[in-house]
């Protein structure tokens, strides 16, 4: 009798966990569909945030896997330093330094979830930095909208390739896949300040 009760409890727990997981998956899919609705022509996003054209030559210089950098410290983990280094090395863009949650204030905010009417898909282009809300971050607090950053590496139609330093990992992949992996969402799009 005792085994049967344990088995029922286990089945119930699995059913609840499964339902919660499916609920999040449906929410995340709705978010992705709302944020990435349209397909754009290539000419619209073939420039960096500074308006410099990305020539065919420049596209071949882009990384095919996430570049690895050393930042010092115990964790060797700094998403803000990582996106700044990639922006400088691959796009010739210099962002002002700052933690992820201060990055938009120290640079230029060009899109914000819920405040900018234009869809993210119409604005996003290589060299921009994305402020990512990541629920699992130990840096989260009520005063911080987000605590993680991605950099847009390449765009081909609706396929947006991003790179980021995630803990001790250096990751590069499709924006939707990287967001799903960390259960994150795009809050801000950031460009360098006009000097």
Q: Model confidence over 184-195: pLDDT tens digits? A: 999 999 999 876
Please state, rounded to an integer, the average pLDDT across all residues of the chain.
75
Instruction: Work out the average pLDDT over 178-188.
Output: 93
Strand 129-133's sheet: what is its strand order? 108-112, 185-191, 129-133, 148-156, 159-166, 169-174
Q: Per-residue pLDDT for 58 more than 90?
A: no
List 166's β-bridge partners, or say none.
169
pLDDT at 8: 75
Q: What does the alpha-carbon distance between residue 68 and residue 33 come to, in Å, rounded to a whole number?
A: 32
3 pLDDT band, cuts 50/70/90, is low
Instruction: Work out the average pLDDT over 140-167.
Output: 88
- Indicate the DSSP class of residue 183: T
């Amino acid at each position: 009798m005792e085994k049967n009760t344990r088995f029922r409890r286990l089945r119930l727990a699995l059913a609840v966990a499964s339902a919660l997981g499916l609920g999040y998956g449906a929410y995340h899919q709705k978010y992705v569909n709302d944020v990435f609705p349209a397909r754009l022509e290539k000419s619209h996003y073939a420039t960096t945030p500074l308006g410099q054209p990305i020539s065919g030559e420049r596209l071949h210089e882009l990384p095919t896997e996430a570049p690895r950098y050393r930042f010092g410290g115990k964790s060797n983990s700094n998403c803000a330093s990582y996106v700044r280094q990639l922006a400088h090395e691959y796009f010739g863009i210099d962002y002002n330094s700052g933690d992820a949650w201060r990055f938009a204030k120290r640079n230029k905010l060009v899109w914000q979830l819920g405040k900018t009417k234009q869809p993210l898909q119409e604005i996003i282009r290589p060299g921009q930095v994305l402020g990512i809300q990541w629920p699992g971050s130990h840096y989260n607090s009520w005063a911080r909208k987000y605590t993680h950053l991605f950099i847009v590496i390449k765009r081909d139609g609706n396929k947006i390739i991003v790179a980021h330093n995630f803990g001790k990992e250096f990751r590069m992949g499709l924006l939707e896949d990287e967001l799903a992996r960390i259960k994150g969402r795009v809050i801000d799009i950031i460009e360098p300040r006009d000097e």
